[in-house]
Amino acid sequence: MDHITICRCEEVTLEDIKNTAKKYQCSAREIKLRTRAGMGYCGGRTCRPAVDAVMEQVTGEKPGHDIPLKVQPPVRPVSLATLRGMQDDK
């Protein structure tokens, strides 16, 4: 059960989170920073609820908003010309 992947982008498993919590006796925020859970390509959009639930279970700490780890979409504007391989005429 501990081999369940919690964060697919950073390939963080439940076992990784539990081991980090046990080794460093740290807060939920610090576990996220140490394991990078919720900090991958999707910016936490996919796994953030699961990561928060695991953090609460492992550390007993409810997700706080003191210094929130924001969910940020990895989206940047790209012109259609760039997508089809042509230069923009700017």
Q: What is the CATH number of the domain that holds 35?
A: 1.10.10
Boundaries of domain holding 71: 1-90
Structure tokens that stand for 56 in this block? 């609460």
* Statement: the pTM of the whole predicted model exceeds 0.85: no
What distance in Å separates the CA atoms of residue 1 and residue 54, rounded to the nearest whole number?
Answer: 13
**DSSP 8-state symbol, 66:** S
Determine the average pLDDT of the residues in 73-79: 68
- The total domain count for the chain is 1
The reported pLDDT for the residue numbered 87 is: 64
The tens digit of pLDDT for each residue in 46-68 reads: 888 888 888 888 888 887 655 55
Residue type, 41: Y
